[in-house]
Amino acid sequence: MKGLYTALMCSFDEKGKINEKGLREIVRHNIQESQIDGLYVNGSTGENFLISTEDKKRIFEIVKDEVGDQVKLIAQVGSLNIDEAVELAQFTTDLGYDAISAVTPFYYKFNFEEVKDYYNTILESVDNDLIIYSIPALTGVNMNLEQFGELFENEKIIGVKFTAPDFFLLERIRHAFPDKLIYSGFDEMLLSASVLNIDGAIGSTFNVNGKRARQIMELSAEGKMEEARKVQKETNDLIAAVLDNGLYQTIKEMLKFKGIDAGHCRKPMRELKEEEVGRARQIAEKYM
């Protein structure tokens, strides 16, 4: 399960319906062009929290059908509705996903015992491995080393998608739990995380920047830090331009520039203005 995983985008039509043709094209692009090791399906980048349970299931089905066994698949099943999380965990396990993942429960100020019960409830329902999705900036859930240790006592919890800038905690987790998988979740900090011996990364921009992400990991592993810094700098130039223009919308426009039917974002995400579409195409010309 080590390696680089794209946080997969989903193509939607103008009415917010799944564009199956476009989704399959995005999947193939990630496998054939970005040459990633796996896909992280129905995470934030897939606009997961804007779609229905049935749409989530359909996306899981389409991706598995398109991928087969070509690369590893991780299904993000986390939800504020624990019944939905369990249902999706069972559904994707039956489909043959290699692992499930679940964002920490958010919005309400859940205490750690509630967070722990959430993960254990999901895992009691399936025979599959789980990767914690920790993104404190969006969930408000900050866990310390001891709490990660308590979660890792469940042998089915095999690792964490660590989307936080706390490299002290990341180092402590790496040292304390050498057998658990750690995936970096911040694309702009990939090099900084790589020197702490992470097992891989899961990133939104890998949809358009997967090859550079692999270069960063490989150069870091080889100790070629100056070269790695140059690639990270180029990556961060791309990321800064994308963020300034509209993250998910811009990545989709960049994919369209490459002939991929990446579609639209679901409301309440807005459409790009004409000049922003032009900037997205310029970013694609420069970096893809």
The ranges assigned to domains in the chain are 3-224
Active site residues: 133, 161
Q: 199 a known binding residue? A: no
What are the residues facing 214 on neighbouring strands? none
Superfamily of domain 3-224: Aldolase class I (3.20.20.70)
Q: pLDDT tens digits, residue range 41-96?
A: 999 999 999 999 999 999 999 999 999 999 999 999 999 999 999 999 999 999 99
Q: Of 245, 234, 247, 246, which Cα lies nearest the Cα of 288?
A: 234
CA dist 46 and 72 (Å) reads 17
In tens, the pLDDT along 172-187 reads 999 999 999 999 999 9
Residues contacting 264, CB < 8 A, separation 6+:
11, 12, 13, 14, 16, 252, 271
pLDDT digits (tens, 9 = 90+) for 226-277: 999 999 999 999 999 999 999 999 999 999 999 999 999 999 999 999 999 9
Please indicate if the annotation marks 185 as binding a ligand: yes
Q: Is 263 annotated as a binding residue?
A: no
Give the predicted TM-score (pTM) of the model.
Answer: 0.97
Whether 92 and 129 have beta carbons less than 8 Å apart is answered as no
